[in-house]
């Protein structure tokens, strides 16, 4: 008798692919971006490059000017490398306006300021009275629920409010998560998805949930290797990194990636998602993360993390 | 061709089944053949026995119990979806473990070998299969790559159950937001539901930790197909 006969395993199943119906493309030509830090400046740069007129503002005057200099410098370097023609760069530069107060007739407003719900809510409440009714308002938050920012807005604003989560560096990274809140008009999300697609991004439409798509689905790329390592052991970190790159095909291993992102930032996202899921064990941070953070070994930025950097 | 005498034991559910069968080496399909019958078991003159069965913990123990009684040659077992560390300790004749039951984006597979001669034996067989061996310090429980990718795919299924986004959009997000070589649903389609479920269930059984609780949809797909 064949000893394994009673158990036969099936071939892999096929999952049905579901596509959203794409509606007509929304008209986005004039965009206001608030927050001239790394993300706000990157978003503004990309928008100029795809033909939008962009108004960039920041509470700090020096930050606004610094962002403009950095963006202009980036375009000059890209021109020198042959990525853009001189005529294109002249056009980009003329389309970036540093403003203290935004024009009222912007098609889209993107907030990219500090991750603080109180401050963001105040900004949206104030600017909802400033912009014309047509303006779509969006937050570049990576962790704050869209509905928490939308709930105090007037009803006609709530339907045009959503999340637009860009990834750093925004001019290069293709993904934009388009997060639809409870009140968001579905056609706006679909139209924006088609618009970003047309402009060369890879947009992903999702509902408002902790971590959205990437920061939820990627949690175990860090959490499970931390459990595999269990304790501080550089050789083990290196073994895990090597296997996930060489066998799994990932560009970076989890430990070197956490060092690059910042162990404190990664730990904070892990904690935030874990708490938002009512302490679901799948998202539980690992004591090793806390140990690294409390000892000030935050990764490359402190020259010490899971690895040492000279 | 290798200078070592190999014997291959396999189950049809293993993704390398056809490749192994076509190598021209002594090969036993354990769903059809019983090499353990009779006084003169046919595999006994092998220098190394490879077990490529993809079966659950109880059945693997039953198989290894038989091999432990009958074998003199070292045995290398595919323990991709099982608690390899435990099996290695329990069965003295088990000198190595491989993780070949999970499809991967590269031609490298994780391998644990207790000594260099066993590792060389594994490398020689892998060469015939056009697989490169990546030696690890231990099989742990589900090795490193199978365990990590299983958790990632399971989370994608759980997010789908929550209707977070379409499968297409979740795959787009992981490929273009964090540069994964494949979307997690595309990845699942290549690996298959059953090996992922086997590993998650075994991890859950051993650890009793709910972080390894498999998605209902994943379980349904594994059972239906």
Q: Are strands B27-29 and B75-78 parallel, antiparallel or unpaired?
A: unpaired
Contact assignment for B168 to A19 by CB distance below 8 Å: yes
A134 touches chain B (CB under 8 A): no
Q: Report, at the CATH architecture level, how domain B6-135 is classified.
A: 3-Layer(aba) Sandwich (3.40)
The answer on pLDDT for A1 being more than 50 is: no
For B172-191, what is the HEC assignment? HHHHHHCCCCCCHHHHHHHH
Please answer whether residues B211 and B158 qualify as being in contact, where contact means their C-beta atoms are separated by less than 8 angstroms.
no
If you search the block for the tokens 């049905």, which residue do you land on? A16
The answer on pLDDT for B37 being more than 90 is: no
Same domain, A169 and A242: no
A281 secondary structure, DSSP code: G
Return the bridge partners of B75, or none: B49, B94
- DSSP states of A296-308 as a string? T--BGGGTBSSSB
Tally Cβ neighbours within 10 Å of residue B39: 4
Contact assignment for A281 to B211 by CB distance below 8 Å: yes
Residues of A in contact with B177 (CB under 8 A): 167, 173, 175, 177, 204, 213-214
pLDDT for the residue B177: 96
Overall average pLDDT of the B167-181 stretch: 98
A197 touches chain B (CB under 8 A): no
For the whole model, what pTM was predicted?
0.92
Q: What is the band of B39 on the pLDDT scale with cuts at 50, 70, 90?
A: low
If you search the block for the tokens 């269990």, which residue do you land on? A230
Distances (CA, A) of A11 to A76, B56, B194: 54, 16, 8
pLDDT for the residue A26: 84
Contact assignment for B152 to A217 by CB distance below 8 Å: yes
Contact assignment for A12 to B134 by CB distance below 8 Å: no
The domain boundary residue, chosen from A169, A197, A214: A214
Same domain, A209 and A234: no
Tally Cβ neighbours within 10 Å of residue B116: 10
Residues of A in contact with B195 (CB under 8 A): 9
Residue numbers of A between 232 and 251 with CB closer than 8 Å to B: 236, 239-240, 242-244, 246-251
Residue A310 makes CB contacts below 8 A (sequence gap 6+) with: A303
Overall average pLDDT of the A28-52 stretch: 97
The domain boundary residue, chosen from A214, A248, A279: A214
If you search the block for the tokens 């990437």, which residue do you land on? A214
Structural domain tally of chain A? 2
Closest CA–CA distance from residue A306 to any residue of chain B (Å): 18
The answer on pLDDT for B88 being more than 60 is: yes
The yes-or-no answer on residue A215 being catalytic is: yes
Same domain, A223 and A181: no
Range of the domain at A45: 30-214
B145-224 classified as CATH 1.10.150.110: no
Same domain, A121 and A223: no
Determine phi and psi for A215, rounding to 5 degrees.
-70, -10
Distances (CA, A) of A304 to A235, A255, A285: 15, 12, 20
For A122-152, the pLDDT digits (tens) are: 999 999 999 999 999 999 999 899 999 999 9
Same domain, A161 and A240: no
Looking at the domain assignment, is residue A89 inside a domain? yes
State how far the Cα of B215 lies from the Cα of B199, in Å rounded to an integer: 13
Tally Cβ neighbours within 10 Å of residue A283: 24
State how far the Cα of B80 lies from the Cα of B145, in Å rounded to an integer: 9
Looking at the domain assignment, is residue A199 inside a domain? yes
Please answer whether residues A32 and A47 qualify as being in contact, where contact means their C-beta atoms are separated by less than 8 angstroms.
no
Contact assignment for A2 to B159 by CB distance below 8 Å: no
Average pLDDT along chain A:
92
Which residue of chain B comes nearest to A219, CA vs CA?
B152
Same domain, A62 and A208: yes
Residues of A in contact with B56 (CB under 8 A): 7
State how far the Cα of A247 lies from the Cα of B80, in Å rounded to an integer: 13
Residue A133 makes CB contacts below 8 A (sequence gap 6+) with: A156
Contact assignment for B104 to A248 by CB distance below 8 Å: yes
Same domain, A182 and A287: no
Q: Out of A95, A142, A190, A191, pick the active-site residue.
A: A142
């Amino acid at each position: 008798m064949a000893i394994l006969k009673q158990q036969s395993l099936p071939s892999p199943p096929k999952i049905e692919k579901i596509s959203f119906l794409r509606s007509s493309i929304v008209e986005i030509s004039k965009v206001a971006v608030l927050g001239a830090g790394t993300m706000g400046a990157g978003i503004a740069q990309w928008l100029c490059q795809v033909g939008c007129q962009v108004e960039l503002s920041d509470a700090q005057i020096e930050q606004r000017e610094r962002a403009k200099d950095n963006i202009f410098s980036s375009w000059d370097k890209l021109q020198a490398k042959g990525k853009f023609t001189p005529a294109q760069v002249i056009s980009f530069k003329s389309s970036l306006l540093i403003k203290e107060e935004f024009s009222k007739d912007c098609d889209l407003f993107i907030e990219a300021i500090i991750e603080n719900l109180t401050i963001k809510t105040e900004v949206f409440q104030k600017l909802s009275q400033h912009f014309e009714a047509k303006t779509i308002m969006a937050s570049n938050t990576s962790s704050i629920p869209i509905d928490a920012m939308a709930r105090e807005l007037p009803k006609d604003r709530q339907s045009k409010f959503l999340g637009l989560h860009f990834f750093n560096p925004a001019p290069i990274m293709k993904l934009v998560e388009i997060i639809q809140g409870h009140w968001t008009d579905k056609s706006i999300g679909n139209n924006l998805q088609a618009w970003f697609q047309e402009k060369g991004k890879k947009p992903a439409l999702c509902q408002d949930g902790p971590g959205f798509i990437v920061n939820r689905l990627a949690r175990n790329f860090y959490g499970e290797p931390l459990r595999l390592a269990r304790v501080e052991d550089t050789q083990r970190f290196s073994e895990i990194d090597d296997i996930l790159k060489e066998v799994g095909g990932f560009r970076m291993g989890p430990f070197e990636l956490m060092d690059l992102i910042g162990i404190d930032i990664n730990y904070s996202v892990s904690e935030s998602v874990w708490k938002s899921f009512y302490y679901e064990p799948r998202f539980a941070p690992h004591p090793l993360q806390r140990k690294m953070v409390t000892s000030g070994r935050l990764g490359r930025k402190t020259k010490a993390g899971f690895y040492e950097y000279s | 061709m290798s200078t070592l005498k190999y014997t291959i034991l396999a189950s049809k559910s293993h993704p390398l089944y056809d490749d192994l069968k076509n190598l021209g080496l002594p090969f036993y399909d354990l769903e059809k053949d019983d090499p353990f019958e009779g006084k003169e078991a046919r595999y006994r003159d092998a220098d190394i026995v490879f077990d490529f069965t993809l079966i659950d913990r109880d059945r693997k123990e039953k198989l290894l119990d038989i091999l432990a009684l009958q074998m003199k040659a070292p045995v290398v077992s595919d323990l991709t979806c099982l608690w390899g560390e435990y099996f290695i300790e329990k069965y003295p004749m088990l000198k190595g473990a491989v993780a070949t039951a999970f499809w991967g984006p590269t031609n490298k597979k994780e391998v644990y070998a207790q000594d260099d001669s066993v590792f060389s034996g594994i490398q020689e067989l892998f060469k015939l299969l056009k697989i490169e061996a990546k030696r690890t310090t231990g099989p742990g429980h589900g090795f490193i790559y199978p365990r990590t990718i299983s958790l990632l795919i399971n989370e994608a299924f759980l997010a789908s159950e929550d209707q977070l986004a379409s499968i297409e959009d979740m795959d787009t997000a992981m490929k273009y937001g964090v540069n994964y070589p494949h979307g997690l649903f595309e990845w699942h389609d290549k690996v298959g539901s059953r090996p992922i479920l086997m590993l998650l269930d075994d991890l859950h059984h051993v650890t009793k930790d709910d972080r390894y609780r498999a998605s209902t949809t994943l379980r349904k797909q594994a059972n239906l197909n």
